Structure 1
Amino acid sequence: MYQCPKEGSIDLQDSQLAPGLPVKACSSCGGAWIPPEDYANWQRSQIDPDAPVSVAVLPLSLSTSFQPADLDNRAALCPDCRSYLVRGRITLKQGSFYVERCPSCNGIWCDAGEWELLGQLDLQTHIDYIFSADWQGQVRELEHGERERQATIDKLGDDIAHRVFELAELLEQHPNGDFGVAYLMRRVDQ
């Protein structure tokens, strides 16, 4: 019998997250253990093997009422092989949450509500991507860009900041945009 990785004394029950995807669910915390072979079978039924993999990087501006589960930060053991689960961070505007995967057997743990959010983000069929260095690098880059954008708004005010963003986009697209940037730098340095 599988036990909940977050609430070790609770036995997991047979359930389903999506049609054709059997899981072991916790009746207490609402999380679900996705056995690796069941996920792989479901994933194959969802993906066209000839289509290129395209996973969108999460926009930090995603508007959702999702709140991470109370137990999201709790360390967890794989209900199958008892290895510690590794965490893949997903950053939203209102905060982060973690999807967990076993490094030994590749089973996946989703806390309550995470599977549905992964669906909204088109990540359900590519959960392994969340654990890649590429994904984590893109997350860091997005966070840096969002912090820089917010700092610009804070320093210049909403109106001027949005004009700067618009001008930056125009200059990025223009073949001689670097000339415009150099001009602005000379003007501001005076």
Structure 2
Amino acid sequence: MQCPKDKTSTLVEDTLEPGLTVMRCPKTGGVWLDRENYERWRSQQPQPEFDLETLSQQLADIDFQPPPTDAKAALCPDSGRIMTRARVDAPKPFYIERSPFNAGIWLDAGEWDILKHLGLHVQIDRLFSSSWKSQLREQHQVELQRDAIIDKLGEEVAEQVFALADTLKNHPNGDFGVAYLMQQFDEGMMG
């Protein structure tokens, strides 16, 4: 089996985790996860619940330099077809490849460790889900908005605004409080 990223290298059998056999490229350090092996291993692992806010913060804090092979397109070692890529939005984005032929997964050197740190190593297919990517983008926008509010109001006032927003959001008549604040704001702008 030939390496998807280095045509001169033949993959060799290796163990990525106890019970998870992979094919590793001795030159690039990348690994091929056969779908059946991965699913068998994955089914025996705890499946973490994801908190998008925490995951988004973890992604923002990743200090990972993708290897040069990450920029190369990859061909499925089984079928020779080009693999689809899922972008992982870290400060230095990187890509995970999946075969359209047999759903096998190619990880460049170091990517397994990052996915494991994020808890995504047992749910790699999430990275290819458009709805999941959309949820992560929305969470990122919420964080950008929060940072902008802190920047404009200062941390102390911003925290009061966030606390009041949570209180009003969870109160059965919170809309009256929001209406009152808007009225006060509008009157202040006119007066």
* TM-score above 0.5, yes or no: yes
In structure 2, the CA distance between the partners of 1:176 and 1:124, relative to structure 1 (3 Å rule), is: same
Partner of 2:83: 85
Matching of residues 106-117 of structure 1 within 5 Å: 106-117=103-114
* Uncovered stretches (5+) of structure 1, i.e. residues with no partner: none
Secondary structure, counterpart of 1:89 in structure 2? strand
Residue pair 2:48, 2:119 contacting (<8 A) in 1 also: no
Aligned residue pair count: 184
* Alpha-carbon shift at residue 107 of structure 1 (Å): 0.4
Q: TM-score, normalised by structure 1?
A: 0.83
Residue pair 2:32, 2:106 contacting (<8 A) in 1 also: yes
Q: Which amino acid aligns with 1:23?
A: V
In structure 2, the CA distance between the partners of 1:45 and 1:85, relative to structure 1 (3 Å rule), is: same
Q: TM-score, normalised by structure 2?
A: 0.83
Tell me which protein shows more helix as a share of its residues.
2
**Which whole-Å deviations, capped at 9, do the CAs of 1:1-60 have from their partners, x for residues lacking one?**
222x2233322222111111111112232211111121122122325xxxx884443622
Which whole-Å CA distance do the structure 2 matches of 1:61 and 1:166 have between them? 20
Q: Which moves more between the two structures, 13-22 or 37-46?
A: 37-46
Partner of 1:22: 21
Compare CA radii of gyration and give the structure with the larger one: 2
Q: 2:117 aligns with which of 117, 120, 139?
A: 120
Q: 1:186 aligns with which of 151, 175, 183?
A: 183
**Which whole-Å deviations, capped at 9, do the CAs of 1:66-119 have from their partners, x for residues lacking one?**
333333233221121122211223334x34332221111100011222212222
Matching of residues 89-168 of structure 1 within 5 Å: 89-92=87-90, 94-168=91-165
Moved over 6 A (4+): none
Which whole-Å CA distance do the structure 1 matches of 2:37 and 2:107 have between them? 14
Question: What fraction of aligned residue pairs are identical, expressed as a percent?
Answer: 43
Which whole-Å CA distance do the structure 1 matches of 2:159 and 2:69 have between them? 39
Please tell me the root mean square deviation across aligned C-alpha atoms, in Å: 2.3
Q: Which amino acid aligns with 2:171?
A: H
Which whole-Å CA distance do the structure 2 matches of 1:24 and 1:64 have between them? 26
Secondary structure, counterpart of 2:55 in structure 1? coil
Which whole-Å CA distance do the structure 2 matches of 1:136 and 1:37 have between them? 25
